[in-house]
Amino acid sequence: MSELIQHLINGIATGTIYALVALGYTMVYGVLKLINFAHGDVMMVGVYMGYATAFALGREARSSLWGVLLIFLVAMAGCALLGLIIERFAYRPLREKPRLTALITAIGISFALSYGFQLDIGFLPGAAPRAFPQIIQPVQWFTLGDPEFPDVVLWNWQVLSLLVAVGMMGGLQFLVYRTRFGRAMRAVSHDHRVAALMGIPTDRVIAVTFMLGSALAAGAGLLYAIKDTSVSPMMGLMVGLKAFVAAVIGGIGNVPGAMVGGLLLGLVEEFVVGYAASTWRDAVAFGFLIIVLLVRPGGLFGRVAAEKV
């Protein structure tokens, strides 16, 4: 029983991080109908920015509340900027071209970032994973069983990542459905040409959406690095792909769907690893994806819209 509870806790903690990254995929897909392949790698860059900031702050400052906030702020702002640059120079020129060109570009950016960061030239960090500093001192908030070797442990960062994720999702839901900007986003998502005719600055809406999604990714990436206590150039690819799977499971383009998909994927993965075989972790997500696509191609909350000509 206690084992089950522990797996539930771990699964939800991982799932919230997937969900946060998935939100970025879903937002960008919502306005552009483009799978932003580079999303996970933008996240990775954000984590490295946080890592550099943590080291610049030094051992004392980085574990204070302001230090942690500063690390998150730098990473999120840096990623927003990176997202803006990518959108402006890589995606915007291709917006009226066939979808395949944009997809290939996205894959190219993803590849350039994840392998570019593995080089050992200049400021680039090299391929080896590095230990991420413990900016949040791990505290056991809740334990069950023997106090020395507890059966169930709930860490403070697990609660934190859940709170951050729920908070961000709530904020996003509010932004999309309750603000002027959100209305503009939904209009662009519906039909960006008509939206432009109605006086909506589509370019700006899309750019801001990209920045928001990238900032969310940076936040999620830092939470992941705190959980994993490591950072490596390849983390973006794997986490990004899993988050994408989460977004598809929930129904891509759907904000609560991304959340549910992320949690579901986190739990499924955790249970398979816990009860079946740990070496199969990476295969679980894709197996799950194929099954979902077979049974419900639109995802759990998505609708399959007929393609209009």
Partner 1 sequence: MDDAVVVTPGKVPGIPAPLRGLFPLLVALPVLFGLQWALSDAPFATYLLSVMGVNVILAVSLNIVNGMTGQFSIGHAGFMAVGAYVSGVLSLALKEVAISGLPVVLSDQLFFVAALLTGGVAAAVCGFLVGLPSLRLRGDYLAIVTLGFGEIIRVVVQNTEVFGRALGLSGTPQTSSVAMVGFWVFVVVLVSRRIAGSSHGRSLWAIREDEVAAEAMGVDTTGYKVRAFVVSSFFAGVAGALFAHFVPIINPNSFTFVKSMEIVVMVVLGGLGSTSGAILAAVFLTLLPEGMRSAFTAMSEEGSSLAQQVDQIRMPVYGVLLVVLMLSRPQGLFGTRELWDVLPRWMARRRKGQS
Residues in touch with partner 1 (CB under 8 A):
35, 90, 93-94, 97-105, 107-113, 115-116, 118-120, 127, 237, 241, 244-245, 248, 277, 279-280, 282-283, 285-287, 289-290, 293-294, 297, 307, 309
Residue nearer to partner 1 on the CB measure, 126 or 167: 126
Residue nearer to partner 1 on the CB measure, 1 or 295: 295
Residue nearer to partner 1 on the CB measure, 255 or 284: 284
Question: Is the distance from CB of 128 to CB of 232 less than 8 angstroms?
Answer: yes
Residue 117 CB, shortest distance to partner 1, in Å, is 9
**Residue listed under structure tokens 């859940």:** 162
Residue 65 CB, shortest distance to partner 1, in Å, is 37
Residue 213 CB, shortest distance to partner 1, in Å, is 17
Residue nearer to partner 1 on the CB measure, 4 or 277: 277
Region for 74 from its dihedrals, namely left if φ exceeds 0, alpha if ψ lies in -120 to 50, beta otherwise: alpha
Residue 275 CB, shortest distance to partner 1, in Å, is 16
Residue nearer to partner 1 on the CB measure, 94 or 268: 94
Residue nearer to partner 1 on the CB measure, 110 or 189: 110
How open is the CA angle 257-255-80, to the nearest 5 degrees? 135
Neighbours of 146 (CB within 10 A): 8
Residue 263 CB, shortest distance to partner 1, in Å, is 20
Residue nearer to partner 1 on the CB measure, 226 or 241: 241
Q: Distance between CA atoms of 163 and 22, rounded to whole angstroms?
A: 16
Residue nearer to partner 1 on the CB measure, 99 or 178: 99
Lookup: tokens for 92: 């915007």
Amino acid code (one letter) for 183: R
Question: Is the distance from CB of 15 to CB of 189 less than 8 angstroms?
Answer: no
Q: Distance between CA atoms of 45 and 113, rounded to whole angstroms?
A: 8
Residue 202 CB, shortest distance to partner 1, in Å, is 20
Residue 223 CB, shortest distance to partner 1, in Å, is 23
Question: Is the distance from CB of 27 to CB of 213 less than 8 angstroms?
Answer: yes
Question: Is the distance from CB of 264 to CB of 244 less than 8 angstroms?
Answer: no
Residue 264 CB, shortest distance to partner 1, in Å, is 16
Residue nearer to partner 1 on the CB measure, 101 or 230: 101
Residue 252 CB, shortest distance to partner 1, in Å, is 9
